[in-house]
Structure 1
Amino acid sequence: MAINRTDPPLAADELTSLLAFLDYHRDTLRLKADGLDAEQLNRTLAPSTLTLGGLLKHLSLVESNWLGVILLGRAEAEPWASVDWDADVDWDFHSAVDDTPESLRTLFDETVAESGRIIEEVVASDGPAALDRLSVVSSRKEGRQFSLRWILLHLIEEYARHNGHADLLRESIDGQTGE
């Protein structure tokens, strides 16, 4: 699959800007994992145990959880629903070693597509007030609901942070650097 990462627009409405930055960071992660085989996707950079495959799986969980579970109140989807999180709180990172590169990429792409459908559903329902939509699930810490705006900004932050990790991992694998 050719990855065509598009720079976010310099001037756009808030929703368009947020979604463009989120797509930019999703595509950045795709680029960092592009063309790598299973051994490469599972390679670590000491002293960390983080892998590019683990990042693909983790960010799939993050999107599924924030948009499906927290925003809409849906039941947790598979493969997440049957995980014993008490046994391994970082199962998403650790279990990626057992997945093929194709299954990791498919999980990521399908999760991103579902996230897009969820956002479209909220925008269609709420119109201009979509970013103010409050989550069904409240914060455990404060007991307050999250706005879609907050969730999108959090997803951008999550990707940006992990894309920094992905930069280092990819460079250690084959020397590839860049955005």
Structure 2
Amino acid sequence: MTTSHDTSTDSPEPAESATSAALASVEPPLAGTEVEHLVASLERLRATFRWKAGGLDADGLALRIGASSLTLGNLLKHLALVEDVSFAWKLAGRSPGTGPGEAWAEADFEAGDWEFTSAAQDTPEQLYALWDGAVRRSRERLRDALAQGGLDLPTHQQDGDGHHPSLRRLLFDLLEEYGRHTGHADLLREAVDGVVGEDPPQG
């Protein structure tokens, strides 16, 4: 059995349901500002990814397809890390949370694929909490950055010539990352229990 319906306080289901309920109605506006288009597009991808990865037990999160090493579990951990690195270090030069007791205190950043290979040792509850917490922090950091300088705000990261990409570019990169991995999640979730679809169910 790969779908979790445990209603205990340790179950990932309440957090998953709350996330889906909050984001199910997200749709990029047909007419709106650039900020509204970008943020709504990101939120829609987040919602779809979280729905495709949500409510599973350890076996469901660990399922692989063919020769690929990707699982829904290691995608949850990878995208959680991408969120924290993007909106902490890349945006503002802050630690993504590597201090004692923080989300990435045990991270081995010397191993390029650490978050993928270590996810198998994490429980579903840990993986869901990691992603949910990272997204919550990202929303707060993005809101503050938009208030500070809008999409043209220079970020902390820089290229070899010392040029700092804008917050706009950071959001484009994150949209690309989520678009790619949400496609992976589509295939993985269908293989787990047959769930298919484009957007989280309404209501």
Instruction: State whether TM-score is above 0.5.
Output: yes
2:61 maps to which residue?
41
**CA distance in 2 between partners of 1:94 and 1:158 (Å):** 19
Q: Residue 121 of structure 1 aligns to a residue in which SS?
A: helix
- Structure 2 spans left out of the alignment, 5+ residues: 1-13, 199-203
- 2:97 counterpart of 1:73: no
**CA distance in 2 between partners of 1:46 and 1:94 (Å):** 17
Give the structure with the larger strand fraction: 1
- 2:30 counterpart of 1:7: no
Q: Residue 50 of structure 1 aligns to a residue in which SS?
A: coil
**CA distance in 2 between partners of 1:145 and 1:39 (Å):** 42
8 Å Cα contact 1:137/1:145 also seen in 2: yes
**CA distance in 1 between partners of 2:145 and 2:108 (Å):** 31
Partner AA of 1:80 in structure 2:
W
1:22 maps to which residue?
42
**CA distance in 1 between partners of 2:179 and 2:32 (Å):** 20
Partner AA of 2:46 in structure 1:
R
Change (3 A) 1:154 1:49: same
1:115 maps to which residue?
138
Partner AA of 2:183 in structure 1:
G
**What is the CA deviation profile of residues 25-67 of structure 1, one whole-angstrom value per residue up to 9, with x for unaligned ones?**
0011111012211111011111101000111110111111111
Identity among equivalent positions (%) equals 44
TM-score (norm 2): 0.81
1:106 maps to which residue?
129
Partner AA of 1:174 in structure 2:
D
TM-score (norm 1): 0.91
Q: Residue 177 of structure 1 aligns to a residue in which SS?
A: coil
**CA distance in 1 between partners of 2:33 and 2:134 (Å):** 25
8 Å Cα contact 1:71/1:146 also seen in 2: no
2:190 maps to which residue?
171
8 Å Cα contact 1:40/1:173 also seen in 2: yes
- Structure 1 spans left out of the alignment, 5+ residues: none
Match of 2:107 among 63, 83, 94: 83
- 2:172 counterpart of 1:153: yes
Larger displacement relative to structure 2 (2-11 or 50-59):
2-11
Matches for 1:115-154 after TM superposition, within 5 Å: 115-126=138-149, 130-139=150-159, 143-154=162-173
8 Å Cα contact 1:64/1:111 also seen in 2: yes
* Aligned residue pairs, count: 174
Superposed CA RMSD in Å reads: 1.5
- 2:81 counterpart of 1:61: yes
Q: Could you tell me how far 1:114 is from its partner in structure 2? A: 0.6
1:94 maps to which residue?
117
